[in-house]
Chains A and B, each alone.
Chain A
Amino acid sequence: MSQATSSRFWLIRPFGERATQVFLGVLLAALVIVTVLHVAVPQGSPLHVNAYTVNLFGKYLSYALLAVAVDLVWGYLGILSLGHGAFFAIGGYAMGMYLMRQIGDRGTYGHPVLPDFMVFLNWESLPWYWQGFDMAWFAFAMVLLAPGLLALVFGFLAFRSRVTGVYLSIITQALTFALMLAFFRNEMGFGGNNGLTDFREILGFNLRSSDTRLGLFLASGVALALGYLLCRAVVTSKLGRVCVATRDAEARTRFIGYRVERFQLFVFVVSAMLAGVAGALYVPQVGIINPSEFSPLFSIEIVLWVALGGRATLYGAVIGAILVNYAKTVFTGVMPDAWLFALGGLFVLVTVLLPKGVAGLLHTRRRASMSDKTPHKEATA
């Protein structure tokens, strides 16, 4: 019950929640088990988790963080963003630029400063927006700031003009599509359709070593836990309740004195930054970032993960992202052509049978057990 917990400091409030405790427990257990099975179990054993699988799990975790970011704006604020892939990709590009600069003179052309694709395009010097990305702190700050700034400008214009609903969904699609076209151009200086790749090191660690991959997997897990906690703290605060109020009755919320467009902008920017972090964790694990991450289809897929997992729970988004991507890995291995049909079928099934997603199953059971206790609570309140 929010009433019982909300006298605490807002950032620690989620720790008092059962759902958060279970979520963190499961996540921690998963991280520990995978690490142990990877490091301690000998390679020949059937229980051994190889570096490829660790890497794959790391990728799922970064997708899960992205899904949490989308659930924050869609589930709680009612803004169906079909362009969150753009923030994910921009965070990824910021990380990619850092990794490119780390290559130094070991590229194919051996230029001390310029990345290969710039040498290939006969560029004389580094464009201004590539400056500073040789420093990790700057690049990591940009992972947050670049998507945040884009969301701030875009959101300011959209929410100030009270663009919501389907119209907002459409312009977010247009945003990511426009960025995709822009990033495809070689003149943009982001490697055109090849994107950024051939990375070697991150913070001095060799990206191709299995230890670094394990480290990135764990970092993704920690980022997911922190991102989840932050979102949980936001949605259990009074601000979270203002968001839900805005989602359900925007005019009424404005009428009782909340500047709705500012709340929307704030949550949208936080969500975009989380998506940027997810992108930055994703890129070193897959070893490439190219404009296909801006593709509108990818953004729609993220929304599908959240819908399948269950909206407005946050942990549902995590379940959805992991389940769908695991299914994708399996399917594209067995029958690559059938994947999109399977995804479509899954979506239809869940919409018909589980309108509240996979999390809805857990939620109804929890609600049922909670309602037994409610009268007792009221009596003691």
Chain B
Amino acid sequence: MSLLQSLQARDRVFDFMAPAASRVDVRHGPILYMEDVTVSFDGFKAINKLNLTIDDGELRCIIGPNGAGKTTMMDIITGKTRPTEGSVWFGSRHNLLQMNEPEIASLGIGRKFQKPTVFEALSVFENLELAMAADKRIFPTLTARMTGEIKDRIEEVLETIGLTGLRFQLAGILSHGQKQWLEIGMLLMQRPRLLLVDEPVAGMTEQEMERTGELLTSLAGKQSVVVVEHDMGFVRSIARKVTVLHQGSVLAEGSMNEVSNDPNVVEVYLGADDEEIA
């Protein structure tokens, strides 16, 4: 039956021609689905029966004390770490546990690491150009030409990350915050479906934090965004839904208000250090 349906489909006749990211099946809602995931390092369970569902287009903040398993969770999604048990699905078609890192990246899962790394000797524009989803073999790269389409795409991302005026500047002279935005822009050039962002506002000024918050909220909807962050003020300002991790599993989930009033959360995390929620 489903075969018949797929034969009748006219919007995408050849599956292999479509960009990998568009093949992600989100008809059932979630773009990321983790069930009963456990990772143990020599008996220590860094992740313990974790269940997490991210909807398509959602902006989700993940908080939790140090050692709660936030980074390990990101590593599992990107294929860097293999869980001992459990299942991880991207859409309802792709089993991430059967794929390697480059395959997962080409599916449209982009990850931004804490420390920004941009190509300092190249301009902002060129940084985005290199990051763009394209044929990255030698000869196509050598003969690649700048087309209007590519230019439009780069301008669009420049607009999104607010660096339009700096497009011809070398990335090396950007401020810390601007480098972070450029790096988010480089991820966007690959047209991701899911963005994993690790501590985006560490070391930023107030204004930079505010703009980062606006940037991340504007990205949600077009793609799903998962933000891991320590700064409670920042999380409060952007989050619609927050997941609290503790000792490798989900302790609470809901709006920031619900979560910060949850007695379990207050006990293990927020209550321990009142200043942090203020």
**Residues of chain A at the chain B interface (Cβ within 8 Å):** 1-3, 6-10, 234, 237-239, 241-242, 244-245, 247-249, 251-253, 256-259, 262-263, 266, 374, 377-378, 381
**Complex Cα spacing A252 to B106, Å:** 16
- What residues on A are CB-neighbors of B141 within 8 Å? 237-239, 242, 258, 263
User: Which of B102, B105, B138, B146 is the one whose CB lies under 8 Å from A239?
Assistant: B138
Contact assessment for A6 and B120 in the assembled complex, using a CB-CB cutoff below 8 Å: no
A238-B129, A378-B168 known; A245+B119 contact, CB < 8 A: yes
Q: Are A10 and B145 neighbours in the complex by a CB distance under 8 Å? A: yes
B272 at the interface (CB under 8 A from A): no
> When the two chains form their complex, are residues A241 and B130 in contact, meaning their CB atoms are under 8 A apart?
yes
> B111-158: which residues lie under 8 A (CB-CB) from chain A?
117-122, 125-126, 129-131, 136-138, 141-147, 151
A7 touches B122 (CB 8 A): no
Residue of A nearest to B172 (CB): A248
* Chain B residue at smallest Cβ distance from A234: B142
- The contact of B138 among A6, A244, A253, A263, by CB within 8 Å, is A263
B203 interface residue per 8 A CB criterion:
no
Residues B142 and A248 in contact, CB atoms below 8 Å apart? no
B165 is an interface residue with CB less than 8 A from chain A: yes
Q: What separation, in Å, do the CA atoms of A380 and B48 have in the docked complex?
A: 57
Q: Is the CB of B143 within 8 A of A10?
A: yes
Could you tell me if B165 and A237 are in contact, using CB atoms closer than 8 angstroms? Answer: no
Chain B interfacial residues counted at CB < 8 A? 30
Q: Which residues of A contact B105 (CB under 8 A)?
A: 257
Known contacts A242-B130, A257-B136; decide if A237 and B168 are in contact (CB<8 Å).
Answer: no
A159 → B minimal CB distance (Å): 13
* A7 CB contact (under 8 Å) in B117, B130, B145: B145
**B186 interface residue, CB < 8 Å from A?**
yes
Residues of B near A262 (CB, < 8 A) are: 137-138
Residues on A with C-beta less than 8 A from B165 are 378
Shortest distance from the beta carbon of A333 to any chain B beta carbon, whole Å = 41
* In contact, A245 and B168 (Cβ under 8 angstroms): no
Which residues does chain B contribute within 8 Å of A253, judged by CB atoms? 119, 130
Given A252-B119, A256-B186, A378-B168, A237-B130 contact (CB < 8 Å): no
> Across the interface, do B126 and A2 meet the contact criterion of CB distance under 8 Å?
yes
Q: Which of B117, B119, B129, B146 contacts A244 (CB 8 A)?
A: B119
- Give the Cβ gap from A229 to chain B, nearest Cβ, in Å: 14
User: Is the Cβ of A9 less than 8 Å from the Cβ of B138?
Assistant: no
CB–CB B121/A10 < 8 A: no
Top-4 shortest CB links A-B: A6-B146, A238-B144, A239-B142, A245-B119
Inter-subunit contact B168/A377 (CB<8 Å)? yes
Are A237's CB and B144's CB within 8 A? yes
Could you list 6 further interchain pairs (A-B, Cβ under 8 angstroms) beyond the known A237-B143, A245-B119? A238-B130, A239-B142, A248-B119, A256-B190, A262-B137, A378-B165
Q: Please report the C-alpha to C-alpha distance between residue A239 and residue B125 in the assembled complex, in whole angstroms.
A: 15
Given the known A-B contacts A237-B142, A238-B144, A256-B186, are A244 and B136 also in contact in the complex, defined by CB atoms under 8 Å?
Answer: no
- Taking CB atoms, residues of chain B closer than 8 Å to A252 are 117-119
B239 CB to closest chain A CB (Å) equals 28
A237 to B141, CA, bound (A): 8
Are B102 and A241 touching (Cβ within 8 A)? no
When C-beta atoms are compared, the residue in chain A nearest to B119 turns out to be A245
Minimum C-beta distance from A312 to chain B (A): 9
A232 and B46 alpha carbons, distance in the complex (Å): 51
Q: Is there an interface contact between B130 and A1, defined as CB atoms closer than 8 Å?
A: no
State whether B142 touches A10 (Cβ < 8 A).
yes
Chain A CB count within 10 A is highest, among B121, B129, B131, B142, for: B142
- Which A residues are CB-close (under 8 A) to B106? 257
Q: Are B126 and A241 in contact (CB under 8 A)?
A: yes
Chain B nearest CB from A72 CB (Å) reads: 13
Q: Which residues of A contact B145 (CB under 8 A)?
A: 6-10
